[in-house]
Amino acid sequence: SGCGTFTFLSSAIAAVSGLLMGYELGLISGALLQMSSILALSCKEQEIVVSSLLFGALFASLTGGFLIDRFGRRLAIIIASSLLVLGSLILLPYESYGILIVGRIAIGISISLSSIATCVYIAEIAPQHRRGLLVSLNELMIVIGILFAYISNYAFASISHGWKYMFGLVIPLGALQAIAMYFLPPSPRFLVMKNNDEAARKVLERLRETSDATKELTVIKSSLKDEHQYSFLDLFRSKNNMRARMLVGLTLVFFVQTTGQPNILFYASTVLKSVGFQSNEAASLASTGVGVVKVVSTVPATVFVDQVGSKTFLCIGSSVMAVSLVTMGLVNRNIHVNFTSVCRSQPPEDFFLQRPGNVTHVTNGSLKDLFASMASPERLSFDAQRSPDVARTGEPNRTALAGGKSTTGSHMESEETPVVLKWLSLASLLVYVAAFSIGLGPMSWLVLSEIFPGGIRGRAMALTSSMNWGINLLISLTFLTVTELIGLSWVCFIYTIMSLASLAFVIVFIPETKGCSLEQISMELAK
């Protein structure tokens, strides 16, 4: 009851934002391979190309909250889709470094704005017993988008100007979403905030497929009346427990990043290569295999969240992540991984990546900058930079520079690794990815869309989102330095401790919200 075809359709159209976002994140690794040779980009310039999306996203997450609370969730999604189309169109006709930066910043603003607006919009139109499913739909679309990006990286890798096709593919989808969103109803809670009760009642009747939505409307009105007086600064005051809620939101986002998902995955190929997998095998496993595992494990989380509850999934995810990280750390202790040589200087022949019609040349000593540059912005960033193109060269001694991973065989000095350890390492990596995809991946964003009062939900989500982008940048840029200092297995152990800390945090501080309306959750948390 209450979740008719129309509600599902509205949520699905809004969740297309997730697909576009995942695609844009996964895309850059393949596109950069081609662009860096066409535009002869230095390492620093490649770093700026990758980070420009992040700066756009950080900017939008700081300012987007006010836009969402002032002009509405639906309008914000329409603006974001249009901006994505515009940013992609800017990139296509020109082959210039400056234009590339401008286009990527526009796309960064777009995906950041749409990711906040979509979660809030879906949470507000969904009936309480189906909210988890519908909000998690967005996360499912993100991982599908990443998988599509990998496929398009493969498909266009050897085509001349293939990067233009990669960037161009999202244009029709973004335009269609903007047009479709125009015909969807605004969020009923937003209409009540704007004192438009009659319109809100009509929207609720359409969404719930009922002739009388007065009861739900009354609940929304009474809760918004109490909430509407919030200002942005109230998020940091003790009134109605707002400061505590904000801290819960920020800490949750902190754990999403510090449990290491962006980095372990980002270097999946390198890690697998170093434990004895051959180049093409490792590269294709890391990108497409990880992409498939993410999609497959996000599905049950999305389908069962309303029965099981987000808190349970968060606990399961964090526990399994801790176990798989310990396994990975122990396996890596028993394999002599010479990980540091990845970022140190390489013999000259390794600076040429032989590919049809493309030679990437990198000067000595700049590899480390290059690695740091590949660190990508979003909570899904890890997937962004692993390019499947190494698989094509099939040569273990080449450095897939622009793809952000060095898979040089000669410098991964590991003795012949026992087969058991080799497969154990891969299995623990995939289990780790799966655990993140049922726990912290989708559930943290569901919890964030629930714990803040409606009148200030957009701004609160935007604040947690900017923390997310900021920490991600910081962690991604320090990963190699830390790994060089303490070794990979200790990095795994640190991430294990963070996973256990996140488990404790979830048990103590995260409320169980399944089956409750947003108003009930807000009243409970205000106590």
- How much is the pLDDT for 370? 35
**Does 240 lie in the same domain as 154?**
no
Domain limits for position 252: 232-344+416-526
In a domain, 211, yes or no: no
Q: In whole angstroms, what separates CA 254 from the centre of its chain?
A: 14
In a domain, 219, yes or no: no
CA nearest to 135, candidates 145, 122, 125 = 122
Q: What is the C-alpha to C-alpha distance for residues 452 and 344, in angstroms, rounded to an integer? A: 47
**Does 142 lie in the same domain as 22?**
yes
DSSP 8-state code for residue 289: I
In a domain, 104, yes or no: yes
Q: What is the C-alpha to C-alpha distance for residues 458 and 153, in angstroms, rounded to an integer? A: 34
Give the DSSP letter string of 2-57: ---HHHHHHHHHHHHHHHHHHHHHHHHHHHHHHHHHHTT--HHHHHHHHHHHHHHH
Residue ending a domain, among 127, 162, 184, is: 184
Decide: 385 and 403 in contact? Cβ < 8 Å. Answer: yes
Q: Per the structure block, which two tokens stand in for 235?
A: 């998020």
Decide: 146 and 26 in contact? Cβ < 8 Å. Answer: yes
**Which H helix or E strand runs over 430?**
helix 419-438
- How much is the pLDDT for 84? 95
Count structural domains, the chain: 2
- How much is the pLDDT for 440? 92
In a domain, 292, yes or no: yes
- pLDDT tens-digit profile, the chain (527 residues): 456 889 999 999 999 999 999 998 878 767 776 777 788 777 667 767 777 887 888 889 888 888 888 899 999 999 999 999 999 999 888 888 899 899 999 999 999 999 889 989 998 998 888 888 898 898 899 989 988 887 787 778 778 888 888 899 999 999 999 999 999 999 998 998 888 889 999 999 888 888 788 888 888 888 777 666 777 888 888 888 889 999 999 999 999 989 988 766 655 655 666 666 655 455 555 667 778 888 999 998 888 988 898 999 999 999 999 999 999 899 888 876 554 443 333 333 332 232 333 333 333 333 333 333 333 333 333 333 333 333 333 333 333 333 333 334 334 444 566 778 878 888 888 899 899 999 998 898 889 888 888 778 888 888 998 888 888 777 766 776 777 788 878 989 999 999 999 999 999 998 888 888 887 888 888 87
**Which H helix or E strand runs over 426?**
helix 419-438
In a domain, 205, yes or no: no
Question: For residue 354, what are the β-bridge partners?
Answer: 359
Decide: 39 and 95 in contact? Cβ < 8 Å. Answer: yes
Q: What is the C-alpha to C-alpha distance for residues 47 and 7, in angstroms, rounded to an integer? A: 42
Handedness of CA 417, 419, 423, 425 (dihedral sign): negative
CA nearest to 41, candidates 124, 1, 100 = 100
**Does 470 lie in the same domain as 335?**
yes
Q: In whole angstroms, what separates CA 152 from the centre of its chain?
A: 18
In a domain, 223, yes or no: no
Q: What is the C-alpha to C-alpha distance for residues 71 and 368, in angstroms, rounded to an integer? A: 44
CATH number of the domain at 273, please: 1.20.1250.20
Question: For residue 399, what are the β-bridge partners?
Answer: 406
Q: Per the structure block, which two tokens stand in for 498?
A: 């963070």
In a domain, 200, yes or no: no
**Does 288 lie in the same domain as 151?**
no
- How much is the pLDDT for 284? 53
**Does 300 lie in the same domain as 174?**
no
For 182, residues 6+ apart whose C-beta sits below 8 A from its C-beta are 78
Q: What are phi and psi of 360, to 5 degrees?
A: -95, 130
Decide: 103 and 86 in contact? Cβ < 8 Å. Answer: no
**Does 135 lie in the same domain as 32?**
yes
**Does 149 lie in the same domain as 16?**
yes
CA-CA-CA-CA dihedral for 72, 73, 77, 83, to nearest 10 = 40
Decide: 106 and 412 in contact? Cβ < 8 Å. Answer: no
In a domain, 436, yes or no: yes
DSSP 8-state code for residue 285: I
**Does 324 lie in the same domain as 447?**
yes
**Does 338 lie in the same domain as 442?**
yes
Decide: 376 and 239 in contact? Cβ < 8 Å. Answer: no
Q: What is the C-alpha to C-alpha distance for residues 235 and 189, in angstroms, rounded to an integer? A: 20
- How much is the pLDDT for 179? 96
**Does 251 lie in the same domain as 137?**
no
Q: What is the C-alpha to C-alpha distance for residues 306 and 321, in angstroms, rounded to an integer? A: 22
Count Cα atoms within 13 angstroms, Cβ side, for 191: 17
Decide: 505 and 255 in contact? Cβ < 8 Å. Answer: yes
- Beta strand 352-355 with 358-361 is antiparallel
Q: What is the C-alpha to C-alpha distance for residues 295 and 437, in angstroms, rounded to an integer? A: 8
Q: What is the C-alpha to C-alpha distance for residues 149 and 451, in angstroms, rounded to an integer? A: 32
Q: What is the C-alpha to C-alpha distance for residues 295 and 147, in angstroms, rounded to an integer? A: 8
**Does 23 lie in the same domain as 123?**
yes
**Does 166 lie in the same domain as 110?**
yes
Decide: 327 and 489 in contact? Cβ < 8 Å. Answer: no
Q: What is the C-alpha to C-alpha distance for residues 216 and 214, in angstroms, rounded to an integer? A: 6
CA nearest to 461, candidates 203, 132, 216, 123 = 123
Q: Per the structure block, which two tokens stand in for 429?
A: 């990596």
Q: What are phi and psi of 423, to 5 degrees?
A: -75, -30
| 268 C-beta neighbours (distance < 10 Å), count | 26
